Structure 1
């Protein structure tokens, strides 16, 4: 499994490890442990984790066992592996160990990296689809759609009516199957009002789309790290 990863020197390049509430997605409000890995293959123009885009942003490089030891210090059995782009790192064996230990593992991935065809127990994906407003739509890997199931989340971060129309087209045309993922749409912070998303979902009768906001940005300062 390891040869396909971009960052594979045997270490996990960490920007930060912390615990907080899950601020968005299907676990919103639950406490979780977050591992933010450095390095990303995209440059979205609204990125809110620009402090974790390259390996130069590494705060500490840990072996797998050292990272597991740090994770086990927290009491929570929910964990979010995020970035940057976590799927550029050799996560598979790490997730196998965490799954065996009973962790519920959320991998937040940007939609431009291939998903695993065989995933360890306990893993679900929260996968972005980057709409035109991100500047990264051309990098989206639509083959990943086939690997998303009911336990997974497909997330759209939108900043315009055009982005919302793209979301609508994907939900209605690419997922005409009962075992589709869970659909979430959220506003780019400061660019569009959440009420516009509610109106769009209502007016277009998008039965399976859930509107969300980033709860952690409401509770704390929007630019605060480690929350």
Structure 2
């Protein structure tokens, strides 16, 4: 079995619990959503160039970098056929910290039987994405203290919706909750002011570091 890899590179982790740390990235082709603000839309093009790689080839590449933080991303990596086999292989190496970025539309329950499940960094798509109707709210119940729930916020309506969900599902009691602003949209101070007004002490505000270190349009960073 081979996987459609559009990028593989090393860099710092731009967001999440390992932000600022070196990581090796494996990016898969294809996504089942079309968010308005998507910054990797090119990877979702049906004609995008990709490198077919087996799970063993991906593992060997990761180990060859000497970096222990691994980010599997896309696109939407959880729609890759046989991705559970790759995750089983990677998670079986206890020297690696494996994180998989997912868009919130794929049921996480399908991956709970892995021997050592990876850390999930899951988006919940808010109104400005125009993809909220594709979200699997059942996924909230599978997120733990080793996972991250990321709300990508581009408008005040997004912040209001995120606050509603956090309180309704008591999300900060069970997992790590982040606000990640859409680059160049909502003023950062407005997000911080909102967090103060709503007393969202359990939420982490985070910028996408890679977009400040490099040109926001740069790939493989």
What TM bracket, shorter-length normalisation? over 0.9
Work out which of the residue numbers 106, 123, 128 in structure 2 matches 1:128: 123
Residue 198 of structure 2 corresponds to 204
Moved over 4 A (4+): none
- Please tell me the root mean square deviation across aligned C-alpha atoms, in Å: 1.4
SS in structure 1 at match of 2:113: coil
Contact 1:12 1:61 survives alignment (8 Å): yes
Residue 148 of structure 1 corresponds to 143
Contact 1:114 1:141 survives alignment (8 Å): yes
Matched, 1:107 2:76: no
Contact 1:35 1:80 survives alignment (8 Å): yes
Distance 1:167 1:222 in 2: 25
Distance 1:195 1:98 in 2: 39
Residue 56 of structure 1 corresponds to 47
Matched, 1:78 2:47: no
Distance 2:195 2:91 in 1: 35
SS in structure 2 at match of 1:57: coil
Stretch of structure 1 that moved more, 117-126 or 127-136: 117-126
The superposition leaves residues 177-200 of structure 1 with CA deviations (integer Å, 9 ceiling, x where unpaired) of: 84x110000111111111111111
Distance 2:144 2:156 in 1: 27
Matched, 1:118 2:106: no
Residue 43 of structure 1: CA displacement? Answer: 0.2
* Long gaps (5+) in structure 2: none
Stretch of structure 1 that moved more, 51-60 or 16-25: 51-60
Contact 1:13 1:55 survives alignment (8 Å): no
Residue 225 of structure 1 corresponds to 219
SS in structure 2 at match of 1:111: coil
* Long gaps (5+) in structure 1: 1-9
The superposition leaves residues 187-225 of structure 1 with CA deviations (integer Å, 9 ceiling, x where unpaired) of: 111111111111110111011111000000001100000
Q: Compute the TM-score of the two structures, normalised by the length of structure 2.
A: 0.94
Work out which of the residue numbers 154, 158, 162 in structure 2 matches 1:163: 158
**Closer/same/farther in 2, CA of residues 14 and 215 from structure 1, 3 Å limit:** same
